[in-house]
């Protein structure tokens, strides 16, 4: 790889198209691999249940006309409702749209930015996207944010092309992507409508200066078209639940920790020196891009700042948390990484050129930088091989373990019981199957990941409805043949021998006091299990442990 002139936005002859495509394909394979790795083993957790509950309790009409109690993503829930009778639902079928979007962005975004970034810069961008822990997480999680990365960034670029070219197709594309983004997740409007601020300012200045009202008329036409389509898609739900959006405004305003926290998540590390360095590189990249294309760079800068300012002023629910703040503006993350990529390539070229090092050091330095980012980030702390709960907020709320409130909170009330160490000593890793029943789907009340870090065995979630409880939140009700989740099992199936496992942990205590109570008859559950499997193998203050598959 040759030394690259960063003023060359076409890539020049220094990096051939074939070489570029081969390297991009390798980056794509690496990024796709970590997104797909053991995805079927990951237990459906937290907000992944929003759309799943909408499907198991409601029909097409209800889903289309309601945001739901937890604002399920309407089009995602409709897709699952369509899938259910055709293919059924399981861990992969629930997550496939996000997986596809998370992998596709590795190729789509470098292509969309080909007019502004050189080939080496696009390769570095693809690498940053591939190893971004935040994007990896949402590519593996059944919420629409990974899809929004594609839709929102595409909407912003189409808006720019429309403004500069006056071509109707770009305007139509902006309207479609913007409204679909808002349909997937209403707060996306903060990002996809932000171009109106910059374009409106430019059009107003022109109208005042030369009495040319064309720009304002164009914007009005786009705005009306967007409102009409938004009314068609979101209107029914807004009529049914008029307070679903307004109740999330003015709830939480940022504090001094929010922006550094969001920057650390965007940079992929909780280490101050890493995210400060990434921030400085992005500023350097912004300076390079301003020299390269001042108009476009000013547009992206103004649009990004407008979206961030809108988010800050509106005080959207939970935006005080850096992870939620970044999630609200996730469509801007690729542009932050683009600036960092440009800055990194520029810095590398300058260092190699001024020190007289061999040209090959360009490539070596960039590879080292990617390795350092991975090692300094949270990925090495994800026990991927024997962890079915990598989407647990213990790993994603904050990349600095000392400031991760989930981890700190859980340390105050839970330590894995000794019997998990006994199980680990009796079995090789992944050899035994442990059923945990009942459970909480919320990360803040769910220590199963900590237990698995001790015993290293496979875990199934046991549903108790039908044995000692009625329909429960966080469980799939019986009699739904389309629900084919491999990580869920009904207690009744264990009792009648339809399914088997090695251990059953029947838990009656050990959850934090502030969590909701599980409406169950524990005595009835205990009697049924004792009648089938005999006396508990181990008993603690919090749980009874039964050996289902007896040794020998």
DSSP class of residue 485? Answer: -
Cβ-count burial of 168 within 10 angstroms (0-12 exposed, 13-18 middle, 19+ buried)? Answer: exposed
**Complete DSSP assignment for 2-71:** ----TT-TT-TTTS-HHHHHHHHHHHHHHHHHHHHTTGGGSPP-GGGHHHHHHHHH--HHHHHT--TTTT
Predicted confidence at residue 248, as pLDDT, reads: 83
In terms of DSSP H, where are the helices of 249-332? 258-267, 272-292, 294-314, 322-328
Q: Which of 509, 473, 476 is nearest to 490 (CA)?
A: 476
Domain definitions of the chain by residue range:
17-372, 415-547
Distance (Å, rounded) from C-alpha 432 to C-alpha 165? 62
Half-sphere exposure in the Cβ direction for 204 (13 Å, CA): 6
Q: What is the pLDDT of residue 425?
A: 95
10-residue block means of pLDDT along the chain (552 residues)?
Answer: 38 69 95 94 94 93 89 94 95 96 96 94 97 96 96 97 94 97 95 96 90 90 96 94 83 92 95 95 96 95 96 93 96 97 94 83 89 93 83 91 87 90 94 94 90 94 92 90 94 93 90 77 93 93 86 46
CB 10 within 8 A of CB 117: no
Q: Map 117-172 to HEC letters.
A: CCHHHHHHHHHHHHHCHHHHHHHCCCCCHHHHHHHHHHHHHHHHHHHHHCCHHHHH
For residue 544, with 0-12 CB atoms within 10 Å meaning exposed, 13-18 middle and 19 or more buried, which class applies? buried
pLDDT at position 514 is 65
The C-alpha atoms of residue 118 and residue 112 are separated, in whole angstroms, by: 12
Q: Are 139 and 101 in contact (CB under 8 A)?
A: yes
CA 15 to each of CA 5, 79, 253: distance values in angstroms, whole numbers, following the listed order: 11, 42, 46
User: Which residue shows structure tokens 């390079």?
Assistant: 288
Q: Which residue has the tokens 């005595």?
A: 523
Calpha distance 260→273 (Å, rounded): 12
Q: What is the pLDDT of residue 358?
A: 81
* Contact between residue 300 and residue 342 where contact means Cβ atoms under 8 Å apart: no
């Amino acid at each position: 790889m040759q030394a690259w002139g960063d003023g060359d936005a076409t890539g020049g002859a220094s990096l051939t198209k074939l070489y570029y495509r081969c390297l991009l394909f390798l980056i794509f394979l690496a990024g796709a691999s970590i997104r797909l790795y053991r995805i079927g083993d990951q237990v459906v957790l937290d907000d992944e249940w929003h759309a799943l509950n909408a499907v198991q309790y409601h029909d097409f009409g209800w889903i289309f006309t309601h945001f739901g109690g937890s604002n399920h993503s309407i089009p995602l829930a409709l897709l699952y409702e369509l899938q259910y009778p055709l293919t059924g639902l399981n861990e992969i079928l629930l997550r496939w749209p996000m997986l596809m979007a998370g992998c596709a962005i590795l190729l789509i975004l470098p292509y969309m930015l080909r007019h502004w970034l050189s080939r080496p810069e696009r390769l570095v961008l693809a690498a940053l996207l591939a190893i971004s822990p935040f994007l990896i997480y949402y590519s593996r999680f059944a919420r629409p944010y990974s899809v929004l990365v594609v839709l929102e960034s595409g909407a912003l670029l189409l808006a720019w092309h429309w403004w500069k070219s006056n071509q109707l197709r770009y305007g139509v594309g902006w309207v479609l992507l913007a409204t679909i983004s808002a349909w997937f997740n209403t707060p996306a409007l903060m990002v996809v409508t932000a171009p109106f601020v910059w374009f409106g300012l430019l059009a107003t200045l022109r109208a005042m200066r030369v009495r040319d009202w064309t720009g304002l008329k164009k914007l009005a036409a786009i705005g009306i078209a967007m409102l009409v389509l938004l009314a068609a898609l979101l209107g029914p739900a807004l009529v049914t639940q008029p307070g679903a959006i307004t109740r999330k405004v003015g709830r939480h305003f940022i504090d001094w920790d929010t922006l550094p926290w969001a920057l650390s998540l965007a940079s992929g590390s909780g280490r101050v020196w890493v995210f400060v360095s990434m921030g400085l590189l992005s500023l350097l990249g912004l300076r390079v891009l301003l020299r390269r294309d001042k108009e476009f760079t000013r547009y992206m800068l103004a649009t990004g700042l407008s979206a961030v300012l809108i988010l800050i002023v509106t005080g959207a629910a939970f935006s005080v948390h850096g992870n939620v703040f970044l999630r609200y503006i996730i469509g801007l993350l690729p542009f932050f990484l683009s600036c960092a990529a440009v800055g990194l390539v520029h810095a590398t070229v300058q260092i190699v050129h001024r020190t007289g090092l061999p040209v090959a050091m360009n490539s070596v330095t960039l590879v080292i930088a990617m390795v350092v980012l991975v090692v300094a980030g949270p990925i090495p702390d994800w026990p991927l091989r024997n962890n079915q709960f990598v989407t647990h907020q213990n790993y994603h709320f904050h990349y600095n373990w000392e400031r991760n409130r989930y981890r700190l909170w859980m340390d105050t009330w839970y330590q894995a019981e000794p019997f998990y160490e006994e199980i680990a000593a009796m079995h090789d890793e992944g050899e035994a199957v442990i059923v945990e029943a009942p459970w909480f789907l919320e990360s803040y009340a769910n220590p199963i990941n900590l237990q698995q870090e001790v015993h290293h065995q496979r875990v199934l979630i046991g549903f108790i409805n039908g044995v000692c409880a009625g329909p429960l939140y966080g469980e799939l009700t019986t009699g739904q043949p389309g629900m084919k989740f491999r990580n869920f099992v009904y207690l009744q199936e264990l009792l009648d021998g339809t399914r088997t496992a090695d251990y059953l942990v029947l838990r009656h205590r050990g959850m934090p006091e502030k969590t909701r109570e599980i409406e169950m008859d524990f005595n009835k559950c205990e009697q049924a299990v004792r009648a089938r499997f005999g006396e508990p193998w181990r008993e603690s203050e919090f749980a009874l442990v039964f050996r289902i598959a007896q040794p020998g």
